[in-house]
Amino acid sequence: MVQKRTGIITFNRKPMTLVGPELQPGDAAPDFRVLKANLAPVTLADSAGKVRLISVIPSIDTPICHAQTRRFNEEAATLPENVAILTISADLPFALRRWRAAEGIDRIQLLSDYQEHSFGRAYGVLIDELKLLARAIFVVGADGKIVYREIVPEVNQHPDYDAALKAARQAAGE
């Protein structure tokens, strides 16, 4: 049975329903299957042994998602080499490829969850009413456990960048 949760996020101040479990720090990070721009599949296991900072956005073509993705691309240069940054949205892979090329994004992976909503369902951030992903940040340690989680209460607000980066640095042993 699919778990649905309310009272966690709003979109333009309207309450939304999230599909999937409420993951917490200490939980094992669920695997997922998303797509690269060339339609090749990517799973959590593909970056095993690294710390993963997973930046979750509703759509790359919105101002906050744009700023969030640029910020983490810039910060990637300051993080230890054993930290991988994955940005996941429900955008089509082709839109992500177009945006990446136009913006010169080169330090993070842009991945699409449009096909199966595998990530959104596994991490409890699929917005049922919109079939988009809620704005969120997860940091997964090299051991595969979630060490940090933020689900932004209002989708049209920024996440706590500093807290997420601090958690990634600590998980990487810095």
CATH of residue 132's domain is: 3.40.30.10
Report residue 54 as tokens.
């997973």
* Beta carbons of 105 and 73 less than 8 angstroms apart: yes
* Beta carbons of 59 and 42 less than 8 angstroms apart: no
CA distance 24 to 27: 6
By the 10 Å C-beta count (0-12 exposed, 13-18 middle, 19+ buried), 63 is classed as: exposed
The pLDDT assigned to 1 comes to: 77
Query: Model pTM?
Result: 0.97
Strands 51-56 and 83-89: parallel
What are the angstrom distances between the C-alpha of 146 and each of 15, 97, 104, 123, 132?
A: 26, 28, 30, 11, 22
Angle at CA of residue 107, ends 159 and 30, nearest 5° = 60
pLDDT more than 90, % of the chain: 98
CA distance 148 to 109: 19
> Once rounded to an integer, what is the mean pLDDT over residues 39-58?
97
Q: Nearest 5°: phi and psi at 100? A: -55, -45
- Number of structural domains (the chain) is 1
Which domain, by its residues, includes 142? 4-171
Which residues are part of the catalytic machinery? 65
CA distance 48 to 59: 26
The pLDDT assigned to 25 comes to: 98
**84-107 per-position pLDDT tens digit:** 999 999 999 999 999 999 999 999
**139-174 per-position pLDDT tens digit:** 999 999 999 999 999 999 999 999 999 999 999 998
Strands 41-43 and 136-140: unpaired
CA distance 19 to 115: 16
In three-state secondary structure terms, 32 is coil
